Structure 1
Amino acid sequence: MQGAWYYAENGEAKGPLPFELLGQHLLSVRDADRLLVWRHGLDAWTVARELPELAVFVSRPPPVPAAPKQETSALQQDRPVDSATSLRTAFFSFKGRMGRTEYVGVLVASIVAFAVVVAAVKGIPDAKDNLLVDAGLIGAAALFIWVRLASSSKRLHDYSRSAWGCLWLIVPIVNVLLFLELIFRRGDSDKNQYGPPQTHF
């Protein structure tokens, strides 16, 4: 193992080198395992990998395998952190997507909530000439419209349509057709420009 070593480079013998310097050279060059070396005691030039004493210098670890990807569905990736955030997103956000079942659920819940508010207000004595009651009804109506537009926007996003399509809801006859489309049209199964499929609750 000790003694003078030589290695071949561009058809020429380089050396002599002590064993330690040859080892450093092998560690610094590419394809060191195919480098030809010679020392006293060898019958001929020998590939470095065939000499046990040089194995530590020419052995290279295999490529590091890629870390396995965690299988996580799109629904799990985009599920809101808590139920409060989920409900706010479902009822008030214009971003993201919404499936048919959730759209119908938000629509029914908002209609019921608005009807309850109206019924409660009508039960207030002298409600007809009460400005606060009128303001409350206007606020409830505005909130209902907001929820309607937000959920319709996300439903349109679900099948790659712009939220501007909600403007058709103010056009007679067309709004009925759009409403039926929002309820029955299947959303994109994969990610689209508005994100992956989502579930809010």
Structure 2
Amino acid sequence: MKWYLKVVKDNYANFSGRARRKEYWMFVLVQLIILILTLSYASLVDDLLGTPIVESILGFYFLATLIPWLALNSRRLHDIGKSGGYIFINLIPLIGRIWYIILVATTGDYGSNQYGLDPKQQNFDEIDDIGRLNE
């Protein structure tokens, strides 16, 4: 859940930098869980009320998370050294979606690249400073 909140709160419209695979896939997992639970609940409520109110709420939710989702995809593509424009590969029927899944599942560039520092890399300068204090 912390990865989901990191995307939605801390990086709401942050299209710069890099995102790890874990951040990407945890966000996707939480989105799927929310979708499944909401649609399950909707099937019960809609039968009782006869109105598609839950689907409307779900639609507003996905509109609210559209910008963080686009920003996360852009940062994920940056992690493998690609431009955020590669998200448009999804517009190619079938092959584009498969290609995109392979792209976002690819291990990110080791070390820094043109889009920023490696999100997996620890800040060794701080560790070195701590070690020097004890000398």
TM-score (norm 1): 0.47
Say whether 1:192 aligns with 2:113: yes
Residue 179 (structure 1) shift: 0.9
Shift of 1:155: 0.8
Aligned to 1:86: 6
Residues 190 and 197 in structure 1, CA contact (< 8 A), matched pair in contact too: yes
Question: Secondary structure, in 3 states, of the residue corresponding to 1:123?
Answer: helix
Percent of paired sites with the same residue: 21
Deviation at 1:90?
5.7
Which of 51, 59, 62 is the equivalent residue of 1:138?
Answer: 59
Inter-CA distance 146–118: structure 2 relative to 1 (3 Å threshold) = farther
Match of 2:20 in 1: 99
Letter in 1 for 2:49: D
- Output the amino acid matched with 1:159: I
Q: Aligned pairs, how many?
A: 115
Residue pairs, 1:8-157, within 5 angstroms: 86-87=6-7, 88-89=9-10, 93-124=14-45, 125-127=48-50, 129-130=51-52, 132-143=53-64, 145-157=66-78
Select the structure that is richer in strand.
Answer: 1
Q: Which runs of 5+ in 1 are unaligned?
A: 1-81
Two-structure CA RMSD over aligned residues (Å): 2.9
1:83-131 Cα deviation digits (max 9, x unpaired): 897342467643321122322222112111222222222221224x34x
Q: 1:134 and 1:105, CA in 2 relative to 1: closer, same or farther beyond 3 A?
A: closer
Q: TM-score, normalised by structure 2?
A: 0.66
Corresponding residue for 2:100?
A: 178
- Say if 1:140 and 1:123 are closer, same or farther in 2 by CA, change over 3 A: farther
* Residues 115 and 93 of structure 1: CA distance in aligned 2, closer, same or farther (over 3 Å): farther
After TM superposition, give the deviation of residue 156 of structure 1 in Å.
0.2
Q: Give structure 1 regions of 4+ aligned residues with deviation exceeding 6 angstroms.
A: 82-85
Shift of the alpha carbon at 1:150?
Answer: 2.8
Please tell me the residue identity of whatever aligns with 1:126: L
Higher relative contact order (CA closer than 8 Å, sequence separation 6+): 2
Structure label with greater radius of gyration: 1
SS state at 1:187 partner: coil
Instruction: Please report how far the alpha carbon of residue 196 of structure 1 lies from its aligned counterpart in structure 2 after TM superposition.
Output: 0.7
Counterparts of 1:98 and 1:159 in 2: how far apart (Å)?
A: 9
Contact 1:114/1:144 (8 A) holds in 2: no
Q: Structure 2: 5+ residue runs without aligned partners?
A: 121-135
Residue of structure 2 in register with 1:7 after alignment? none
